[in-house]
Amino acid sequence: MAAAELAAVAFGLAYVVLAIREHRLCWIAGGIGTAIYGYVFLDAGLPMQAALQIVYVALSAYGWLAWSRASAGARAVRTWPWPRHLAAAAAIGVATAISSPIAERYALAAAPVADSIGTWASLFATWLLARRVIDTWAWWIAIDAGLAALFARQGLWPTAALYLAYAVLAVAGWRQWRARRSA
């Protein structure tokens, strides 16, 4: 397990660094890392996170295609208005309210609420990243800090460290994308 987790960490770091630089290869690194994490999280008793990794592989393909468009409009970063973020947060809350009791009832998750919130919020933030919405980085700061605590609780120390690094890198990503938009 340790070797798989370490490989996933390496691909995860490559993904975020390349995403900050808006390099299309981030989606390849992300797809490989998430495929490995599917196994790691399932073994750690985090089925929602494991299932999320399968979706991430598909989102990696979407991101690869979305970032391949040659037009300048497709490459421009943008922001979203706050009402959209509030609606997204409400939808994440509803999805969590539905999925966490199911995971708890069937003893599928070691931490059903945290696993559910992390899963639904991560899906949304990844979609924002693929759409080049600057605000994705603010979402990732909060998500990654919370998931770092969850993974530490499950004894996934390299992954917890990775997610803390993700939170720091998300601050850098936010700054870089905002500067690029202002330029």
pLDDT tens per residue across span 76-120: 788 999 999 999 999 999 999 999 898 888 766 778 899 889 989
Which residues lie across from 133 on neighbouring strands? 78
- Residues of the chain predicted below pLDDT 50: 70-73
Q: What is the pLDDT of residue 72?
A: 42
CB-based contacts of 48, cutoff 8 Å, min separation 6? 99, 103, 108, 109, 112, 115, 116, 118, 119
> Distance (Å, rounded) from C-alpha 70 to C-alpha 87?
31
Q: What is the pLDDT of residue 71?
A: 43
Q: Report the C-alpha dihedral over residues 128, 130, 135, 140, rounded to 10 degrees.
A: 80
Q: What is the pLDDT of residue 49?
A: 80
DSSP state of 78: B
Q: What is the pLDDT of residue 45?
A: 81
Q: Is 90 exposed, middle or buried (0-12, 13-18, 19+ CB in 10 A)?
A: exposed
Q: What is the pLDDT of residue 154?
A: 86
Q: What is the pLDDT of residue 57?
A: 93
Structure token pair of residue 182: 């202002």
DSSP-based three-state secondary structure for 106: coil
**Which alpha helices (DSSP H) does the chain contain, by range?**
2-20, 26-43, 47-66, 72-75, 82-105, 112-130, 136-153, 157-182
Q: What is the pLDDT of residue 66?
A: 84
Q: What is the pLDDT of residue 105?
A: 80
Which residues lie across from 78 on neighbouring strands? 133
Q: What is the pLDDT of residue 50?
A: 87
> Distance (Å, rounded) from C-alpha 146 to C-alpha 38?
19
Q: What is the pLDDT of residue 74?
A: 53
DSSP string, 112-142: HHHHHHHHHHHHHHHHHHHTTBTTHHHHHHH
